[in-house]
């Protein structure tokens, strides 16, 4: 079974919607409740790396949205936000594949 979220997530990165923050409540809850600790190392590392990328992407989006108009033309915040989103999307897809593999093997 192959399932990929990348196509759907890339749709979110359309001209305006890419500025939406990733939701991370379930990550935080899973970490807090210890659910991540029972996973194999490969899946655990993939999920934690994805969580870090999502957190970074959210910070870049907030920096972009909160900058003044002059900086929007001079700065690199938009590029940073778009790039961090792309990284997060790729890592989400990898973590999802790892999770599907893990669940299929258990």
Confidence bin at 16 (pLDDT 50/70/90): low
b/e per residue 17-55 (b: at least 16 CB within 10 A): ebbeebeeeebeeeeeeeebeebeeebeebbeebbebbb
User: Is 65 inside a domain boundary?
Assistant: yes
Q: Which two tokens stand for residue 71?
A: 């900086």
Is the pLDDT at 6 greater than 70, yes or no?
no
Q: Model confidence over 29-88: pLDDT tens digits?
A: 998 999 998 899 999 999 999 999 999 999 998 998 888 777 777 778 888 888 998 899
Are 63 and 77 a contacting pair, CB within 8 Å?
yes
With respect to residue 1, please indicate whether it lies within any of the assigned structural domains. Answer: no
Domain count, the chain: 1
pTM equals: 0.76
Please give the residue range of the domain that contains residue 84.
6-105
């Amino acid at each position: 079974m192959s399932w990929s979220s990348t196509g759907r997530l890339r749709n979110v990165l359309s001209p305006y919607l890419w500025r939406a923050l990733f939701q991370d409540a379930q990550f935080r809850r899973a970490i807090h409740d210890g659910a991540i600790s029972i996973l194999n190392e490969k899946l655990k590392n993939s999920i934690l790396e994805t969580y870090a990328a999502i957190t970074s992407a959210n910070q870049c989006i907030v920096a972009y949205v909160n900058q003044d108009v002059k900086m929007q033309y001079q700065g690199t915040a938009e590029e940073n936000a778009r790039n961090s989103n792309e990284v997060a999307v790729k890592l989400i897809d990898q973590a999802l594949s790892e999770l599907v593999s893990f669940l299929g093997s258990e």
